[in-house]
Structure formats: structure tokens, C-alpha cells
Amino acid sequence: MDQAEQRMWWYRALHARLADSLAGITGRVLDAGCGTGGLLAALHRRAPGLELFGLEWSALAAVRAAQKSGAPVARGSVNALPFAGGCFDAAVTADVLCHAAVDPQAALAELHRVLRPGGRLVVNMPAFTWLLSAHDRRVHNVRRHSAGQLRAALEAAGFTRIRTRYWNALLLPLMVAQRKLLARGADAASDVAPFPPWLDATFHGITALERRLPFPMPAGGSVLAIAARP
């Protein structure tokens, strides 16, 4: 992950979407489940005025995230955040609620708790249960959500002003072919791997084009939600 997220097209596309979703935010921002710090580093470059914090369960990843981003990174679980209530203006959790070790209900309750009233939550999830594959097993994903399922989970946790949007839609047919046909065996590798430079640039260009489209897509490989704590 540490190597891939700095150059792989999917990570760069994800970080751009998440940064867009934080537009207008000032103050303290938490990346809950920050991995090796790619998003924190990207936000530091794009919005240097933000006060960034990370939370990561893996001790090795937490150290690397702090080195990469310059942000303080606490070690702990998103199921029980080690922060005081109402101390963040925004929080991001990207492809974390899908993880086998995460209790989504507990994690969303904790994210609600640490946000100030009016604070913003940004959630990214892999989309559609029927897309679960060998890739998900490799990265310890046990759930994928539709936009409706993600909205329902956020509403149940007390969030309001919820907006959901699928993305990585133009490449969804290739994802289905890869996950369900070419790499459907139990021993298939994760999709997180180096791509030939020309292919990486092509895929990233497609995601950048989609990001500029003025209308929502009916489906995609991921679903992103923006919500607020009342």
C-alpha cells in the first residue's frame, strides 16, 4: 500500500475525490483508518491550512503515515476512537467500514461523537455485494454497499444532509470482467499492484474525465457519501 498509493491510478483518483468532498472545510480533519498516510499527504499538499490527524490500527502503518504526511497519527481502532467528543470539524474514512475488523455501527457512532455539531463526514466504500471477489478477500473486505445501503447506515447513526454518489463508473465493466472472470479463483491476487505506465495513465485519465461530468452515474466500483452531524 505504501508504494502503490503514491502512484497507482486508483489511489490518486480516490484522493482527488476525497479532497473535493472536503471543499470549504477549515480546522481539524481526521483520517480514520489512514493506512500508510497517502490521503493525509495529499491533503497537506492541496489544503495546507487544515490541521490534519490520522488514526490507524497497524503500528507499522501509523509510523509510516506520520513520516509521509507530517501529521500526528494515533494508533487505535475506528470502533473506539481515542479522541474527545466534538473535537473535529470533518472526518474521512475511506474503504474502512468494509474491513473485517470493523464494526460499522460502532465506527459510525464514534465518528458522530468526535465531530462537532455541523461537522462533515466523508465515507468511501466499495460498491455492490455481488462484486465481492478474491481481491476483497486479499484486502480483508467483508462488505460492499450500494448507495442506498450506505445512506441507510448513515441515517441510522444520526447523520443528516446525506449525499451519495457512485464513482469509477466508466471502468466498472472492466472491473467486473477482472473480478468475476479473469481473477475469480480463490488464490487470485489483489488488484493493488503496479500497472504499466501507459495503462495507469489511461485509467487515471478516465477517472479524471468522469470526475468532471456534471451528472451522477447510476453505478460504479465505489460509492462516496458526504454527511453532516446535526
pLDDT in tens, 127-145: 999 999 999 999 999 999 9
pTM of the complete model = 0.96
Mean pLDDT taken over the chain: 95
Share of the chain above pLDDT 70, in %: 100
Over residues 1-18, the pLDDT tens digits come to 898 998 999 999 999 999
Tens-digit pLDDT profile for residues 55-111: 999 999 999 999 999 999 999 999 999 999 999 999 999 999 999 999 999 999 999
- Report the top-level CATH class of 4-228: alpha beta
d(CA 51, CA 89): 10
**Joined grid coordinates for residue 130:** 455481488
Per-residue model confidence as pLDDT tens digits over 158-198: 999 999 999 999 999 999 998 888 777 777 778 888 899 99
